[in-house]
Amino acid sequence: MVMSWLIITEKDNTARRIASILFKDVKTLKKGRVSYYHSPSNDAYVVGLKGHIVELDFPKELNNWTKTPLEKLLQAELVKKVKERTISSILKEIAKKADRVTVATDYDREGELIGVEALEIVKSVNPTVKVDRVRYSAVTEKEIRSAFSKPVKVDFNLANAALARQKIDLIWGATLTRLISVHSGRMGKDFLSVGRVQTPTLRLIVDRELEIQNFKPEKYYEIFAEFEGFIAKHPKRYGSKEEAEKLFAKIGETAKVEEFTRRRMEENRPTPFNTTEFLREASKFMSPHKAMNIAETLYMNGYISYPRTDNTVYPPTINLIEIVSALSSVFPREAQIVLSQDKITPSRGRRETKDHPPIYPTGVAKRGELSKDEWTIYELVVRRFLATLAPKAVWDVRRVVLDSNGVKFVANGRQLVEAGWRDIYIYSKAEETELPLLKKGDVLRILKKRLEEKETKPPGRYSASSLIKMMEKLNLGTKSTRHEIIQKLVSRRYIHGNPFRPSETAFSVINVLKETAETITLPDMTAKLENEMDLIAEGKKREPEVVDESREMLLQILRAIDYRKLSKDLREGVKKDKIVGKCPECGGELVVRQSKAGKRFIGCSNYPDCTFTLPLPQNGTLYITAKQCKEHEIKEVKIRTKKGYWNLGCPYCNYLNWKKENS
One-letter amino acid for residue 608 of the chain = P
Could you give the residue ranges of the DSSP H alpha helices within 150-255? Answer: 156-184, 198-214, 241-250
One-letter amino acid for residue 110 of the chain = E
Please report, for residues 59, 60, 290, 491, the alpha-carbon distance to residue 194 in angstroms, rounded to integers and kept in the order given: 21, 21, 22, 13
Nearest-angstrom CA–CA distance, 249 and 425: 47
Of 45, 306, 462, 652, the active-site residue reads 306
Of residues 377, 354, 313, the one with CA closest to residue 108 = 354
Nearest-angstrom CA–CA distance, 332 and 382: 12
* Phi/psi-derived region of residue 461, left when phi > 0, alpha when psi is between -120 and 50, beta in every other case: beta
Phi, psi (rounded to 5 degrees) for 279: -65, -35
Nearest-angstrom CA–CA distance, 169 and 162: 10
Q: What is the DSSP string of 630-652?
A: SSSSBEEEEEEETTEEEEEE-HH
Nearest-angstrom CA–CA distance, 566 and 585: 34
3-state secondary structure 321-339: HHHHHHHCCCCHHHHHHHH
Whether 339 contacts 321, CB under 8 Å? yes
- Residue ranges of the binding site for Mg(2+): 10, 106
Phi, psi (rounded to 5 degrees) for 23: -130, 150
The CA dihedral of 356, 360, 366, 370, to the nearest 10 degrees, is 60
Q: Is 136 a catalytic residue?
A: no
Whether 646 contacts 632, CB under 8 Å? no
Beta strands 130-133 and 98-103: pairing type? Answer: parallel
Nearest-angstrom CA–CA distance, 227 and 36: 74
One-letter amino acid for residue 174 of the chain = A
Please report, for residues 136, 349, 579, the alpha-carbon distance to residue 569 in angstroms, rounded to integers and kept in the order given: 51, 47, 16
Nearest-angstrom CA–CA distance, 83 and 120: 14
Nearest-angstrom CA–CA distance, 267 and 105: 40
Question: What does DSSP assign to residue 388?
Answer: H
Of residues 21, 62, 57, 17, the one with CA closest to residue 35 = 17
Of residues 160, 12, 162, 20, the one with CA closest to residue 87 = 12
Beta strands 600-604 and 589-594: pairing type? Answer: antiparallel
Nearest-angstrom CA–CA distance, 442 and 400: 11
State which H helix or E strand residue 481 sits in.
Answer: none
Instruction: Give me the active site residues, please.
Output: 306
